[in-house]
Amino acid sequence: MNPRFVGLGVLLITGLLYGAYRSWWSGPVAEARADLAAYRERLEKAGAEIRRGAQASKALDELRSRSLGGDEETVDHRVRTQLNRLLESLEVTEATVSTSEPRTVETPARSVLGRAQASLRKRRDEPDFATLEFKIGGVAPVGRVLGLLTELRAQTWPCRVEDVRLDPVADGAQLRFTVRCTTMFLLGSDAGEPDPSNASPEELAEFADFALSNPFALPSAPAVVVHPSSPKPSRPRPPSFPYDKWRLTGIAELAGTMESWWVRPNGKAVVLREGAGIGKALIAGIEPEAVVLQRANQQLRVEIGTAIPR
């Protein structure tokens, strides 16, 4: 037999056998292995999702057990009860507790759940949780107000302090306070009211120095010393004009004008005509034997040889 034909036959048979192996065994096995790997990957992802779901359920159950209830009415009642007890223990006067309407919060996955399968779309309209806002007010010393804030932070149920307002009363020894807070709760089953918790002594002592310093206290007003008022010395009255020292000594007519001759207190002579002044008196007229003076509303007549009357 021709060796060339034998070799060609061997090659042909080998190729047919290899093709049969790929078609009947190798290809299906490779596809099966790929499907198995993909299945294992999906299985691992599902297992991870199940574990995360279990962790989330555990966290939600823990949060539910810490909240004050599963419906609005129950949470409102328990908030008022616990806060009134807290204010009473701190001896707060004029204590008040008020609550507002609860507010539900929708799930942020609403848009995603809208495109999901029908079983998940039912959860689209279910709220994630609800919140209740409440206010606390009253009058207390600085230390007790700080103690109240510390106790609110130490509660086991969710309590977020939104804002605090403090107004000093009288001299600042006490404060009129208003605290606005928010608590959250999951709607549904009620895990029961959590036990009230108290702040530790270390937490309460954190603001002790601040309470002792009391920056709200007003400084005491300094004592006012009233000195007896000494009477003001009376101003000495100005000396009165010495009218009685002025003496009329003579009257003369010079070039048709009447003149009067006077001796002043210092002994010197002076000649005065009509209209001239002596102190607050004016010479209103000069007669042959006398001079007429006008002083305020008084008219005086001074004859020769006499002095002006006072």
Q: Are residues 59 and 76 in the same domain?
A: no
Q: Are residues 39 and 106 in the same domain?
A: no
Q: pLDDT for 125-173, tens place per residue?
A: 778 889 999 999 999 998 899 999 999 988 889 999 999 999 988 777 8
Q: Provide the pLDDT for residue 1.
A: 54
Q: Provide the pLDDT for residue 197.
A: 76
Task: Give the total number of structural domains in the chain.
Answer: 3
Q: Are residues 163 and 112 in the same domain?
A: yes
- Boundary residue ending a domain (213, 229, 252): 213
Supply the DSSP string of the chain, one letter for each residue.
--HHHHHHHHHHHHHHHHHHHIIIIIHHHHHHHHHHHHHHHHHHHHHHHHHHHHHHHHHHHHHHHHSS-SSHHHHHHHHHHHHHHHHHHTT-EEEEEEE---EEE--TTHHHHHTS-HHHHGGGGS-SEEEEEEEEEEEEEHHHHHHHHHHHHT-SS--EEEEEEEEEETTTTEEEEEEEEEEEE-SS----PPPP----HHHHGGGHHHHHH-TTPPPPPPPPP-PPPPPPPPPPPPPPP-GGG-EEEEEEEETTEEEEEEE-TTS-EEEEETT-EETTEEEEEE-SSEEEEEETTEEEEEETT-BPP-
pLDDT above 60: residue 227: yes
Is residue 223 in some structural domain? Answer: no
CA distance 34 to 28: 10
* Host domain of residue 296: 243-303
Look at 106 and 152; give whichever has higher pLDDT: 152
Q: Provide the pLDDT for residue 256.
A: 80
Closest among 281, 303, 282, 273 to 291, alpha carbons compared: 303
Closest among 146, 114, 120 to 213, alpha carbons compared: 146
Q: Are residues 62 and 90 in the same domain?
A: no
Residues 6+ apart with CB under 8 A from 100: 132, 133, 134
Q: pTM for this structure?
A: 0.53
CATH of the domain at 280: 2.30.30.830
CATH of the domain at 81: 3.30.70.60
pLDDT above 70: residue 237: no
In the chain the first and final C-alpha atoms are separated, in Å, by: 188
Q: Are residues 119 and 250 in the same domain?
A: no
Mean pLDDT on 191-207 = 80
Residues 126 and 107 sit within 8 Å (Cβ to Cβ):
yes
Q: Are residues 83 and 208 in the same domain?
A: yes
- Boundary residue ending a domain (24, 43, 66): 66
Q: Are residues 149 and 98 in the same domain?
A: yes
Q: Provide the pLDDT for residue 43.
A: 85
Q: Are residues 80 and 188 in the same domain?
A: yes
Q: Are residues 176 and 155 in the same domain?
A: yes
Mean pLDDT of the chain: 81
Q: Provide the pLDDT for residue 8.
A: 66
Is residue 1 in some structural domain? Answer: no
Look at 295 and 11; give whichever has higher pLDDT: 295
CA distance 310 to 307: 9
Is residue 284 in some structural domain? Answer: yes
Q: Provide the pLDDT for residue 87.
A: 92
Q: Provide the pLDDT for residue 132.
A: 93
Q: Provide the pLDDT for residue 36.
A: 81
Q: Provide the pLDDT for residue 110.
A: 66
